[in-house]
Structure 1
Amino acid sequence: MRRTLMSRRGPHRPMIRRPLIRTAALVAAGMMALTACGGAEAGPKLELSAALPDAAAEGTVLRVGDPATQVALETSGLIDDLDVEIEWANITGGPKTLEAFRADAIDIGSVADIPPLFAHWTGTDVRIVAARETVDPEAHPTYELGVAPGVEVSSIEDLKGKKIAYSPGQAQGALVLNVLREAGLTQDDVELVEMQSVDDSFSVALAGKQVDVAPLQQVLLKTYLAKYERDGATAIPSGVRDDAWTLYAPTTVLEDADKAAAIKEYVVAWAKAQQWISEHHDEFAQAFYVDHEGLTPEDAAYVVEAYGDYTVPTSWDEFIARHQVTVDTLVKEQDQEPLDVDTLYDRRFEKAIKAAVEGSS
């Protein structure tokens, strides 16, 4: 059973300050400005099967929606290693990144493994150009299942008959379907309440008892429990792996030789930034979660430790194989078009990352 619930902000919104996050109006205005900035003459045409150029032409600007990596590069000093000019956009999450692609506002975005699938299924041709996973995904899950005050859920099998917050085109939606599969349940055994996971909308829905269960990232889980645990709010592990992360770009961008060369340079810097984050938890917590996202130092430290350390695979075979399992679940449960997910991966960048990592070791 599935119904739709429009997400809204309520009086119980967790108090997480986000001083540098733009309002919807500012994001829209920023997209128009970025589009105008991105209107420079395109570089030479590059076939998707052709080798990546070694360097972009002088004056090439790469428009990037990846604020966490921006902060890591700037704080670590690794940004000085980039020759290409970067124009940063404070855009995160699958829906906003896809909107920015369609508005020609950015060239590359940072998301989990689900948004590239829905970009493809909704008519935007994209390719994945980098992948990241967690060193110990069982000990450091991205999501846990928040449970509304007064609702009895102690295992994923207890989800039967519950109302579950569900965002079909986002990582949280795939997580819910994977959890149901792991629990031996189907969509008919629960009530999926469709809503987009933006800001703290899932937490608000839980607190207002509009849903019984919702997948929450660690930062939201901590604030949710801090505020509502006294009222009976709880959380349980999801029991499924959820650590996949990607960089992806429209194929039209990759068919521009200068942009493709710029992305080649960026993914190498991105890989180094993920390693730096893993080795400098305290510095990253302060620079990103405190200074950029507005968390308290205590909450920032908790979140960084909860997410654990990252690794950037130099072979994508296993990553793609796990991604295909998720694709097959979505095809079955959402009636999506069958997809060989390997066709979404531009493995020229896998080779570039491998060469850079091995060359620096």
Structure 2
Amino acid sequence: MSRCLSSPPATGVRRRASALLGLLLVLSLAALPGCGRDGEANAGPRLALDAAIPADFPRETRLRIGDPTVQKQLQLLGEIDALPFTAGWQNISGGPHTVEAFRAGALDGGAVGDTPPIHATFTGLDIKIIAVQVREKPVYELATAPGVRLASIQDLRGKKIAYSPGQAQGALVLRALKKAGLSQQDVKLIQISSAEFKEALTSRQVDVAPLSGTVLLRYLNEYRDDGATSIAHGVRDNLSFFYVRTSALEDANTAAALREYVKRRTRAQLWAHANKDAWIEAYYVKDQGLTAAEGRYLIESAGKPQYPSDWTEAIALTQETVDLVAEATGQKRFDARTIFDLRFQTIGAEAARTAENSSATDRPTTAQRSTP
């Protein structure tokens, strides 16, 4: 299948440098104590993938986790030192870095959007999704380079669009084109990593790029006066996952600890939503360098996190993405259900109900609690 994919020469060196830095990161993680390759950390009883997950596990069970935002939330909630397992926190998240770390055996689980587990499976990596989160509102908007006119997704025709295969932003672009009735031949897809999207817009190497969160807010604040804008894309864009190496679930101790982590992760995310002022001050202001008003805007634009107890819809939406990306890239499609571990299906929803029925999510943070 012919595809209109291009990469501007000016970004080639940066892409290679980014790949090299990613590789060095993974190698350094694998060299750290407790961050070794498969089988070195826990060595618990072997667990079949269709067997019940045990309730108990040793306190010394180690999880290598790439979930920086939740790490901060657990710290503020006062639970970071009370986890019933040993956490080896890694400051990585998102598709490319988690996949690299999985391949190096340096990570057990990581937080990602809706597409990295699909890309990982396409590349032969054996993974499972163990937590599903649904946002009330979309994650991304389509941002334009200064001066580029974009009133609707139909105006994408003829535009240079930032495209990152294997990441949620890449699948979003494909969905938006399909909804607009456009093919890849109607646009020019510029293949770069999502970390380069903002720079590519400001340098006008691309006309349009999907941006979200602090990146979108900062970009518009800086370049709105020069004509930069953003529009809603009008397609489904609200799933995120926590996924793991399948081999981690074949260790009974690790699987049990991961189930506990999903519970505490849910609790921490709901705490941040319930305690907006504390979270804004600690994260958006002190950590991200935004104003309190900007932090509040980002929280309100996300809405309250939801944790479905039935993953049927999430699986169906993931299958749509599998089929769309497979058609666009020539990869072989697969059954999306195979990458979801349904033993975890109700864990997040049950933890959310418990947290919301208790005072846990309303407990205020204290100024004495340090941040990681």
State if a TM-score over 0.5 links the two structures: yes
Secondary structure of the residue aligned to 1:144 is strand
Q: Residue type of the partner of 2:193?
A: Q
Tell me how far apart the structure 1 counterparts of residues 312 and 141 of structure 2 sit (CA, whole Å). Answer: 27
Tell me how far apart the structure 2 counterparts of residues 196 and 43 of structure 1 sit (CA, whole Å). Answer: 38
CA apart distance, 1:66: 0.2
Tell me how far apart the structure 1 counterparts of residues 139 and 164 of structure 2 sit (CA, whole Å). Answer: 16
On the 8 A contact 2:146/2:224 being kept in 1, the answer is: yes
User: 1:357 and 1:146, CA in 2 relative to 1: closer, same or farther beyond 3 A?
Assistant: closer
Q: Deviations over 1:36-94 (max 9, x none)?
A: 54433511111101100112123111111001111111212344663122121111111
Q: Deviations over 1:251-275 (max 9, x none)?
A: 1111011100100100111121222
Tell me how far apart the structure 1 counterparts of residues 33 and 160 of structure 2 sit (CA, whole Å). Answer: 40
Q: Paired residue for 1:189?
A: 186
CA apart distance, 1:221: 1.6
Q: Paired residue for 1:351?
A: 346
Aligned length: 343
Q: Residue type of the partner of 1:164?
A: I
Q: Paired residue for 2:148?
A: 151
Q: Residue type of the partner of 1:89?
A: Q
Tell me how far apart the structure 2 counterparts of residues 357 and 171 of structure 1 sit (CA, whole Å). Answer: 25
Q: Residue type of the partner of 2:298?
A: V
On the 8 A contact 1:146/1:236 being kept in 2, the answer is: yes
Tell me how far apart the structure 1 counterparts of residues 9 and 172 of structure 2 sit (CA, whole Å). Answer: 20
CA apart distance, 1:345: 0.2
Q: Residue type of the partner of 1:189?
A: D
Tell me how far apart the structure 1 counterparts of residues 9 and 113 of structure 2 sit (CA, whole Å). Answer: 23
Q: Quick check: 152-161 or 276-285, which moved more?
A: 276-285
Tell me how far apart the structure 1 counterparts of residues 335 and 23 of structure 2 sit (CA, whole Å). Answer: 37
Tell me how far apart the structure 2 counterparts of residues 279 and 63 of structure 1 sit (CA, whole Å). Answer: 27
TM-score norm. by structure 2 comes to 0.86
CA apart distance, 1:358: 5.1
On the 8 A contact 1:274/1:312 being kept in 2, the answer is: no
Tell me how far apart the structure 1 counterparts of residues 253 and 8 of structure 2 sit (CA, whole Å). Answer: 44
On the 8 A contact 1:35/1:103 being kept in 2, the answer is: no
Q: Paired residue for 1:206?
A: 201
Tell me how far apart the structure 2 counterparts of residues 192 and 97 of structure 1 sit (CA, whole Å). Answer: 24
Matched, 1:4 2:1: no
Q: Quick check: 24-33 or 284-293, which moved more?
A: 24-33
Q: Quick check: 105-114 or 275-284, which moved more?
A: 275-284
Matched, 1:96 2:91: no
Secondary structure of the residue aligned to 1:311 is coil
Q: Paired residue for 1:17?
A: none
CA apart distance, 1:295: 3.2
On the 8 A contact 1:4/1:194 being kept in 2, the answer is: yes
User: 1:293 and 1:315, CA in 2 relative to 1: closer, same or farther beyond 3 A?
Assistant: same
Q: Paired residue for 1:31?
A: 29
Secondary structure of the residue aligned to 2:345 is helix
| Unpaired stretches in structure 2, ≥5 consecutive residues | 14-20, 358-372
CA apart distance, 1:359: 5.5
User: 1:303 and 1:343, CA in 2 relative to 1: closer, same or farther beyond 3 A?
Assistant: same
Tell me how far apart the structure 1 counterparts of residues 117 and 239 of structure 2 sit (CA, whole Å). Answer: 12
Q: Paired residue for 1:286?
A: 281
Tell me how far apart the structure 2 counterparts of residues 313 and 107 of structure 1 sit (CA, whole Å). Answer: 23
Tell me how far apart the structure 2 counterparts of residues 94 and 25 of structure 1 sit (CA, whole Å). Answer: 14
User: 1:205 and 1:359, CA in 2 relative to 1: closer, same or farther beyond 3 A?
Assistant: closer
CA apart distance, 1:25: 8.7
User: 1:329 and 1:106, CA in 2 relative to 1: closer, same or farther beyond 3 A?
Assistant: same
Tell me how far apart the structure 2 counterparts of residues 169 and 7 of structure 1 sit (CA, whole Å). Answer: 22
RMSD of equivalent CA atoms? 2.2
Tell me how far apart the structure 2 counterparts of residues 6 and 195 of structure 1 sit (CA, whole Å). Answer: 11
CA apart distance, 1:243: 1.3
Q: Which has the higher contact order (CA 8 A, sep 6+)?
A: 1
User: 1:152 and 1:182, CA in 2 relative to 1: closer, same or farther beyond 3 A?
Assistant: same
TM-score norm. by structure 1 comes to 0.89
User: 1:234 and 1:58, CA in 2 relative to 1: closer, same or farther beyond 3 A?
Assistant: closer
Q: Deviations over 1:216-273 (max 9, x none)?
A: 1131122111211221111111111211110100111110111001001001111212
Q: Residue type of the partner of 2:316?
A: A
Secondary structure of the residue aligned to 1:310 is coil
Q: Paired residue for 2:111?
A: 110
Q: Paired residue for 1:65?
A: 66
Secondary structure of the residue aligned to 1:153 is coil
Write the mapping of 1:100-249 to structure 2, written as runs, cut at 5 A.
Answer: 100-135=101-136, 137=137, 141-198=138-195, 201-249=196-244
Tell me how far apart the structure 1 counterparts of residues 112 and 216 of structure 2 sit (CA, whole Å). Answer: 20
Tell me how far apart the structure 2 counterparts of residues 24 and 191 of structure 1 sit (CA, whole Å). Answer: 27
